[in-house]
Amino acid sequence: MKRGLCTIVALAVLAIASAATGTPWYYSFQITGTLMNHPAQYSGIFTNAGDGTLEFTLNDAAWPDPADPGARFAYIWTTYFAGNYNGTTPGAEKWSGSILGTFTMSTSNAPTGYNGTLQGNINAKFTIRDLDADGILDDAEKYSIQYNMLDGRLSKSCAMPATGEMANKQGTGALNSNGFAFLYPPEINVLNGNGNLNLVACPSADEQSSWGSIKSLYR
């Protein structure tokens, strides 16, 4: 009996694992924006592997108004970057700042399973290179689109809205680009980069109930 029950549990776990394995979508994008404006938002289009729009908005509710750009920059730098300096690797000294927000996608002509709309969360990590390794932010580093970068981590839960082929799905993804800088409006960043998204079906009520029953039997 015990061996048979273990077999049932193993098969159930295998079935759930198989259902939770998706086929990632890899895409390219171009977005524009700046942290120095309100809302702190980047928006644009997909440029490869699908058509549509990509946008993310960061939580800048507590940031000073863009009308005082000096205060706004000082707040962003002090809150997110100044305490996150990494000088352990010679030639790669840098500051990093991670800012939370939300993202939206609206897609068409993408691979099967990725056409529609969705909303999720983003953890946007911006990196500023310390080019002269002195631990002091210089203007050349602040505005260096050649060396500074964005690395965003995406997540989408079943509770977040989605339509079309992306409805009733959950998953994770990433996007990254060089070209980030602290530009003041009307100047904006133009970020060309690549990303990926891996969505899987949300478990149905029957699947959740069945798995709960199996676990109770195993106990």
Tens digits of residue pLDDT in 144-159: 888 999 999 999 999 9
Q: What is the pLDDT of residue 11?
A: 40
- Per-residue tokens: 147: 């060396």
Q: What is the pLDDT of residue 207?
A: 55
For the cut 80, the answer to whether the pLDDT of residue 118 exceeds it is yes
Instruction: Answer whether residue 186 is part of any domain.
Output: yes
For the cut 80, the answer to whether the pLDDT of residue 8 exceeds it is no
Q: What proportion of the chain, given as a percentage, has pLDDT over 90?
A: 81
Instruction: Answer whether residue 11 is part of any domain.
Output: no
20 Cβ neighbours under 8 A, 6+ residues apart: 200
- E-strand ranges in 49-184 read 51-58, 85-86, 94-108, 116-129, 149-156, 162-164, 169-178
Q: Mean pLDDT over all residues of the chain? A: 88
Q: How many domains does the chain have?
A: 1
Instruction: Answer whether residue 12 is part of any domain.
Output: no
Instruction: Answer whether residue 217 is part of any domain.
Output: no
Phi and psi (nearest 5°) for 158?
Answer: -65, -25
Total-model pTM: 0.84
CA–chain centroid gap for 205, Å, is 28
Q: What is the pLDDT of residue 204?
A: 82
Helices in the chain by DSSP H: which ranges?
Answer: 2-19, 69-76, 139-142, 205-218
Span 94-121, mean pLDDT?
A: 98
Span 107-132, mean pLDDT?
A: 97
Q: What is the pLDDT of residue 211?
A: 44
Q: What is the pLDDT of residue 218?
A: 52
Instruction: Answer whether residue 8 is part of any domain.
Output: no
Instruction: Answer whether residue 153 is part of any domain.
Output: yes
- Per-residue tokens: 14: 């295998």
Instruction: Answer whether residue 81 is part of any domain.
Output: yes
Q: Which domain holds residue 197?
A: 24-203
The count of C-alpha atoms lying within 13 angstroms of the C-alpha of 114, restricted to the half-sphere facing its C-beta, is: 24
Tens digits of residue pLDDT in 150-202: 999 999 999 999 999 999 999 999 999 999 999 999 999 999 999 999 999 99
For the cut 70, the answer to whether the pLDDT of residue 9 exceeds it is no
The mean-pLDDT minimum among 6-10, 115-119, 156-160, 178-182 falls in 6-10
Q: Is the dihedral of CA 164, 24, 156, 175 positive or negative?
A: negative
Span 209-217, mean pLDDT?
A: 48
Tens digits of residue pLDDT in 103-114: 999 999 999 999
Instruction: Answer whether residue 67 is part of any domain.
Output: yes
